[in-house]
Amino acid sequence: MIGNIQYSLKNYSKANDYFNLALKIINELKNENDYNSLKGYLYNNIGKIYQKQKHHQKAIKTFQKALLLDDFKKSGIPIYCYLNNNLNYSKLKLGNKSVVNKFEETLKIGDSIGSIPIQITSKHYLGEYYLQQKDTIQAIKYLIDAQQLAHKNNIFEDELLILQLLAKANITKEAFYNQRYIHLSDSLQDVERISRDKYARIEYETDQVTEEKKIVEK
């Protein structure tokens, strides 16, 4: 959870540190039933950090390592979908055009299990794929669906990325989508600022308590 918080605050180095600490702890749980899933989710988070840093080859290796842990298509459908989408998104970023079938496969699974995050991500990636292929009709269709789902379910970080793509895909409404992006971005920055202030205060107060404890011990 601390790693996820750092990731959302764009502290990718710190997030990576916490995810790797969690990986070390997970190795003590090898006899637990959800061992592979826990490890798979952590590899997925680490891979997403590489994506944010545009290290797509490293991201691909990390997602592939996670998929080798288990047959998640049978044992853990959600983690399979996350890894499948992210793996093929990095491939798309490196110019692989054959990934469209993988995104469609994951979207079908997301629809069948009623997973909103999987549906949003799959439609987002399909929209980006078709935008790259200059098929703006298909791109707009998937991106609007993804944006509406993200907005309705308060998944605003995804919505920001999708709004940027919609501005590129639909030139006639470019100003409208840019305006929505700016408004949402400003709102999220206010929330992020509050989160950073809270986090800094917790760190400061923790340091104070530690110092007081040392004085008492002396």
> What is the DSSP secondary-structure string of 111-165?
HHHT-HHHHHHHHHHHHHHHHHTT-HHHHHHHHHHHHHHHHHTT-HHHHHHHHHH
Of 31-40, 45-54, 168-177, the one with minimum mean pLDDT is 31-40
pLDDT in tens, 4-31: 989 988 899 999 999 999 999 998 888 7
pLDDT of residue 190: 60
Give the mean pLDDT of 142-168.
95
User: Greater confidence, 212 or 162?
Assistant: 162
In this prediction, residue 204 has a pLDDT band, given cuts at 50, 70 and 90, of low
3-class DSSP state of 41: helix
pLDDT in tens, 114-144: 999 999 999 999 999 999 999 999 999 999 9
pLDDT of residue 193: 66
- Average pLDDT of the chain is 90
Do the beta carbons of residue 66 and residue 47 sit within 8 Å? Answer: yes
In this prediction, residue 36 has a pLDDT band, given cuts at 50, 70 and 90, of very high
Give 183's Cβ-side CA count (13 Å radius).
7
pLDDT of residue 27: 84
User: Greater confidence, 121 or 191?
Assistant: 121
The candidate with the shortest Cα–Cα distance to 43, out of 22, 57, 29, is 22
pLDDT of residue 62: 97
| Predicted model pTM | 0.83
Do the beta carbons of residue 142 and residue 127 sit within 8 Å? Answer: yes
pLDDT in tens, 39-66: 999 999 999 999 999 999 999 999 999 9
What amino acid occupies position 35? Answer: Y
Give 104's Cβ-side CA count (13 Å radius).
7
User: Greater confidence, 169 or 211?
Assistant: 169
- CA dist 53 and 69 (Å) reads 25
pLDDT in tens, 63-112: 999 999 999 999 999 999 999 999 999 999 999 999 999 999 999 999 99
